Chains A and B, each alone.
Chain A
Amino acid sequence: MKITPVLHNTRIHNPHGFRLSLWEKMHLDLPLLLGLVLLIGLGMLILYSAGGKSLMFLSQQAMRLSLAAGIMIGLAQIPPQSYRTWAPWLYTVGVVLLIAVLVLGVIGKGAQRWLNLGLFRFQPSELLKLALPMLLAWYFSDRPLPPKLTQIALATIFILIPAALVAKQPDLGTAILIAGAGFCVLLLAGISWRLLLGLIATIIAIAPLSWHFLKEYQRQRVLTFLDPERDPLGSGYHIIQSKIAIGSGGLFGKGWLQGTQSHLNFLPEHATDFIFAVCGEEFGLMGGIVLLSIYAFIIIRGLQIAIRAQDTFSRLLAGSLALSFFLYIFINIGMVSGLLPVVGVPLPLVSYGGTSMVTLMASFGILMSIQTHRRLVAS
């Protein structure tokens, strides 16, 4: 019997002839898919209300979602080893593009996040959300773990380069998400707890210094977070109105399409970053718990895929993707409910808007790829 090459195989390695379901043949992960469908369904319901019952609004979102789903399915077909091979190149291209964006921004005298590619606008920072964890997973994949201090230092530089470039755009939310994704790889790679604590302590020590580097509006946001009543009609307005929206929803909410805060425009950005407040207002605590449960389900499934992954690269990448998905949720809901300062992070797959949705669905595609390209062995 000829030995089938283990790597670089686009099909599931199935030497023992396990029965494969249709989903598995299509390289799709059913639980993850189920979680996403539930999330997107609920998200569309909320968005319909938040968008002022506009079907056009909804159909635009649906079109973006189909595009993103297509990308997800496509990426799920590519075996993890390919990602491993591409990782350094993706990262390099991403960083170069970030620099390009920054230079163009300087020339254009203003904040610039996009590269206009004619047909659509492309945000290099979104690419980094995937490319950075891939690079780090690739970096650690053929090195003995736990990583050595020098390796950690190098990895930190890999993290800081894109994070700093994105923060400079300035897009603090995305910078945090990129750094977070990279940090998750370090965490999963087995960085020692002592080092971890040291790193956290360093960050806390640096935080006051970073005040100096923050833009005026970012400082305002931090001050406003500390005391929203400071400027109730200015920078504190968002968070006050958002808390009113959530709080007034109560246990069961005011009912779908019945939210006054969003429909009367008291709640700013209610279709984008602050859409969770609409959910809180119209569906109440129950709606919030349902939404959080769906998110928790997706995250747990992602972590499960990470545990079951059979090589270091897949494990680190899967775990990091699942954790950064969590970061989105925690930062967004924390911000909308007044636990965290306002940073521009959308509520994943619910907020109206394109770029982050494509990135997120792409990461689920990668997760599915990792899950469905395992070598099946008898236990």
Chain B
Amino acid sequence: MKKKVTLTNPSQESRRFSRRIWLLGISLLTLILILALRLAYLQIFRHERYITLAQKNQLAIVPITPSRGLIYDRNGILLAENIPVTSLELIPDKIDDIDLTIQELKKIIAIDDDELEQFNKLLGQRRSFDSIPIKVKLSKEEEAAFYINQYLFPGVTIQAHLIRHYLFGEALSPVLGYVGRINQQELAQVAPSNYSPTDYIGKVGIEKYYEPILHGTAGYEQVEIDASGRAVRTLKRVPAIAGQNLYLTIDSKLQQVAIDTLAENRGAMVAIQPGTGQVLALVSNPSYDSNVFVKGISSKDFKKLRESPDQPLYNRALRGQYPPASTIKPFIALQGLATETVTPEDQIFDPGWFKLPNSTHLYRDWKKTGHGWVDLSDAIIQSCDTYFYNLAYEMGITEINTILAKFGFGSKTGIDMGEELGGVLPSPAWKKRYRGTAWYPGDTLITSIGQGFMVATPLQLAHAVATLAMKGEGHKPYLLLKAKPINAKAVYYQPIPLKSIELPADTWHLVLNAMQEVIENPRGTGHIRFGAKPKYTVAAKTGTAQLFSIKQNERIASQDILPERLRDHSVFIAFAPVEDPKIALAVIAENSTFAPAIARKILDFYLLNKDENNTRTSQYKNS
């Protein structure tokens, strides 16, 4: 390198400097142009995409759950309401590690395994951006504990909801059923837009049957949300339309009395207003508390309910198929008279058994020594089996079926609850089909005393006796008295008359009179069991449904020696007052003899204590 004396050359320096400035200036402008091009790319070429994203950011459709219709009884007493509760909910999409979050949550709010299980079940069913409850019905303390720590739990919120509350719990669950969280299958059957995923749906009972009018119509809000998801402004609001309030035909006080009276007895009771078919009470005992299903029952608790030998989940009133036993005798008697197979004056001698011609088999009467000479009235009053064996033998199964079918046996009553069973009205064709064997004359005899293949539900029995009380003018049993839309007049549901059963007046009179004698006549089967003479007239028929087959020549001296669950069922049908029937009922007490006594208390309450209902109810509740 040559040694050079460097001299400051201002003009040369200045020129170099200017050159650099120019160069840099041009570079800067180029870079600024690049920024402008970048903006143009974002704002022109990608504009459509970003405007969509911006709108997606800011708009949310928030469904408004309609308030579910309330349920009242016939007197306007509230049975099912909606109460506000708060629940702790998680939105999976907004949570990185759900397990960890739950672990942390557990430190401030007790979450038990049942709740966790319920949550995991819902987690599998719901969409990941849905809010999924992990704990329902938070206490004030739990709410406070969460709010203090909320910042630690993104994606976890406390939500306020209305949930169903049943004021009568176990007493009305056989009628009302319950609502529960809607599941995928149910969601597929309803209009999805009307059911936001957190909605409840009627699962059983009235809640299920009248779901379409109880639910109402969902509304929605289109809201502008900010970055934290908070609604800032409502752009559009379509209000929800509340479900209709239902008024049932049920008399809740009667219902309460009935379940209290059944008390320790397994069984069922159905009471119907004979002139209309309105169901006054429909009881199945033991029962369950509808409220436990609303919150979401744990599989452990559910298993306990399901596997209980008392079968609390089993709606005996609608689905229990019991042998009607001797309670069907009045109906058969009607046909005997109608077909002139017998006359009121015809008597037979009952030695305590009946024998078919050319057979040695003895069909025994319940009274070992026999009833002696009995006519039709006596046969009903004393429930003489031999008389009805003879009548059945002479009249034949077809005539028996004709009259029983007319009173609704063997087919569903069509009550406005989805779950009922139709019982069995056996016939040669039925036996051929379901048992694969021929009909024997003996089958006819057994059917005539309501045993053998014949089974009926308590509802069917109550319906039949109500029709009997009205001398053949039956009505379809129903539960919905009126429905009241939120801003309109209530719609009354009218009784639906069934085809009337035409019989001569004196035929009705004879049979109904005999049924009255069942109670009033000292020899009547209900005379003692129904108790002291009531202040009203009552027509009734007792029945004892055998569960345990005994050998041909034996008769068990006392039911007491049998294990409890093999003992006979006690069946009782009645209506009162006889001259102007206001109530008809059927009671079944499983493995017990108390059906008449139970019926008595229910009838007394309904007919005598209407004015003192309040005190009576509380008294029953306390007992």
Q: Which residues of B contact A165 (CB under 8 A)?
A: none
**Assembled-state Cα–Cα distance A251/B36 (Å):** 12
Q: Which residues of A contact B43 (CB under 8 A)?
A: 246-247, 249-251, 280, 284-285, 288
**Assembled-state Cα–Cα distance A144/B12 (Å):** 11
Asked whether A266 lies within 8 Å of B58 as measured between CB atoms, the reply is yes
Q: Does A113 contact B (CB under 8 A)?
A: no
Asked whether B35 lies within 8 Å of A337 as measured between CB atoms, the reply is yes
Contact of A260 among B21, B38, B58 (CB under 8 A): B58
Q: Does B17 contact A (CB under 8 A)?
A: yes
Q: Does A69 contact B (CB under 8 A)?
A: no
Q: Which of A166-174, A300-308, A364-372 contacts B (4 or more CB under 8 A)?
A: A300-308
**Assembled-state Cα–Cα distance A266/B227 (Å):** 5
**Central interface residue in B6, B28, B47, by most chain A CB within 10 Å:** B28
Please, what's the 1-or-0 string for A275-291, where 1 marks a CB less than 8 Å from any CB in chain B?
Answer: 00000100011001100
Please, what's the 1-or-0 string for B371-414, where 1 marks a CB less than 8 Å from any CB in chain A?
Answer: 00000000000000000000000000000000000000000000
Q: Which residues of A contact B29 (CB under 8 A)?
A: 296, 300
**Assembled-state Cα–Cα distance A329/B34 (Å):** 12
Q: Does B356 contact A (CB under 8 A)?
A: no
Q: By DSSP majority rule, is chain B's interface helix, strand, loop, or mixed?
A: helix
Residue of A nearest to B20 (CB): A188
Q: Min CB distance, A215 to chain B, in Å?
A: 22
Contact of B226 among A144, A187, A264, A295 (CB under 8 A): A264
Asked whether B35 lies within 8 Å of A292 as measured between CB atoms, the reply is yes
Q: Min CB distance, B376 to chain A, in Å?
A: 86
Q: Which residues of B contact A285 (CB under 8 A)?
A: 39-40, 43-44
Q: Which residues of A contact B191 (CB under 8 A)?
A: none
Asked whether A289 lies within 8 Å of B53 as measured between CB atoms, the reply is no
Residues of B9-48 at the interface with A, using a CB-CB cut-off of 8 Å, are: 9, 13-14, 16-18, 20-21, 24-25, 28-29, 31-32, 34-36, 38-40, 42-44, 46-47
Q: Does A49 contact B (CB under 8 A)?
A: no
Residues of B33-82 at the interface with A, using a CB-CB cut-off of 8 Å, are: 34-36, 38-40, 42-44, 46-47, 49-51, 53-54, 57-58
Please, what's the 1-or-0 string for A76-104, where 1 marks a CB less than 8 Å from any CB in chain B?
Answer: 00000000000000000000000000000
Q: Which residues of B contact A333 (CB under 8 A)?
A: 35
Q: Min CB distance, B295 to chain A, in Å?
A: 33
**Assembled-state Cα–Cα distance A324/B58 (Å):** 38
**Assembled-state Cα–Cα distance A125/B57 (Å):** 38
Asked whether B17 lies within 8 Å of A307 as measured between CB atoms, the reply is yes
Q: Min CB distance, B527 to chain A, in Å?
A: 81
Contact of B54 among A146, A260, A284 (CB under 8 A): A260
Q: Which residues of B contact A300 (CB under 8 A)?
A: 25, 29
Q: By DSSP majority rule, is chain A's interface helix, strand, loop, or mixed?
A: helix
Q: Does B225 contact A (CB under 8 A)?
A: yes
Asked whether B17 lies within 8 Å of A248 as measured between CB atoms, the reply is no
Q: Which residues of B contact A130 (CB under 8 A)?
A: none
Q: Does B488 contact A (CB under 8 A)?
A: no
Interface size class of A (residues with CB under 8 A): 35 or more
Q: Does B224 contact A (CB under 8 A)?
A: yes
Residue of A nearest to B6 (CB): A144
**Central interface residue in B25, B44, B58, B226, by most chain A CB within 10 Å:** B25
Q: Does A345 contact B (CB under 8 A)?
A: no
Asked whether B50 lies within 8 Å of A303 as measured between CB atoms, the reply is no
Given contacts A264-B227, A288-B43, A292-B32, contact A248 B16 (CB under 8 A): no
Residue of B nearest to A264 (CB): B226
Given contacts A188-B20, A280-B43, A307-B17, contact A299 B6 (CB under 8 A): no
Q: Which residues of A contact B32 (CB under 8 A)?
A: 292, 295-296, 326, 329-330
**Assembled-state Cα–Cα distance A22/B34 (Å):** 39
Q: Which residues of A contact B227 (CB under 8 A)?
A: 241, 264-266, 268
Q: Which residues of A contact B308 (CB under 8 A)?
A: none
**Assembled-state Cα–Cα distance A297/B564 (Å):** 104
Given contacts A188-B20, A265-B226, A284-B43, contact A244 B50 (CB under 8 A): yes
Q: Does A349 contact B (CB under 8 A)?
A: no
Q: Which residues of A contact B232 (CB under 8 A)?
A: 264
Please, what's the 1-or-0 string for A292-333, where 1 marks a CB less than 8 Å from any CB in chain B?
Answer: 100110011001001100001001000100010010011001
**Assembled-state Cα–Cα distance A323/B32 (Å):** 12
Asked whether A244 lies within 8 Å of B25 as measured between CB atoms, the reply is no
Asked whether A146 lies within 8 Å of B31 as measured between CB atoms, the reply is no
**Assembled-state Cα–Cα distance A330/B32 (Å):** 7
Q: Does B8 contact A (CB under 8 A)?
A: yes
Q: Does B7 contact A (CB under 8 A)?
A: yes
Q: Does B228 contact A (CB under 8 A)?
A: yes
Q: Does A245 contact B (CB under 8 A)?
A: yes
Given contacts A247-B42, A285-B40, A337-B38, contact A264 B58 (CB under 8 A): yes
Asked whether A190 lies within 8 Å of B58 as measured between CB atoms, the reply is no
**Assembled-state Cα–Cα distance A378/B615 (Å):** 119
Asked whether A246 lies within 8 Å of B42 as measured between CB atoms, the reply is yes
Given contacts A188-B21, A247-B42, A266-B58, contact A145 B51 (CB under 8 A): no
Q: Which residues of B contact A106 (CB under 8 A)?
A: none
**Assembled-state Cα–Cα distance A187/B54 (Å):** 43
Contact of A326 among B7, B28, B50, B228 (CB under 8 A): B28
Residue of A nearest to B38 (CB): A337
**Assembled-state Cα–Cα distance A159/B42 (Å):** 36
Asked whether B7 lies within 8 Å of A247 as measured between CB atoms, the reply is no
Please, what's the 1-or-0 string for B110-128, where 1 marks a CB less than 8 Å from any CB in chain A?
Answer: 0000000000000000000
**Assembled-state Cα–Cα distance A247/B57 (Å):** 14
**Assembled-state Cα–Cα distance A153/B17 (Å):** 20
Contact of B50 among A247, A251, A323 (CB under 8 A): A247
**Assembled-state Cα–Cα distance A303/B25 (Å):** 7
Asked whether A337 lies within 8 Å of B39 as measured between CB atoms, the reply is yes
Q: Which residues of B contact A303 (CB under 8 A)?
A: 21, 24-25, 28
Query: 8 A-B residue contacts at CB 8 Å?
Result: A247-B51, A250-B43, A260-B54, A299-B25, A306-B17, A315-B17, A319-B17, A334-B35
Binding site for A on B (CB under 8 A): 6-9, 13-14, 16-18, 20-21, 24-25, 28-29, 31-32, 34-36, 38-40, 42-44, 46-47, 49-51, 53-54, 57-58, 224-228, 232
> Apart from A248-B50, A280-B43, what are 17 other A-B pairs with CB-CB below 8 Å?
A144-B6, A144-B9, A187-B20, A188-B21, A241-B227, A244-B53, A247-B49, A247-B50, A247-B53, A248-B54, A251-B43, A280-B39, A288-B43, A292-B32, A295-B32, A330-B35, A337-B42
Nearest 8 A-B pairs (CB), nearest first? A247-B50, A248-B54, A264-B226, A265-B227, A144-B6, A247-B42, A285-B43, A248-B50
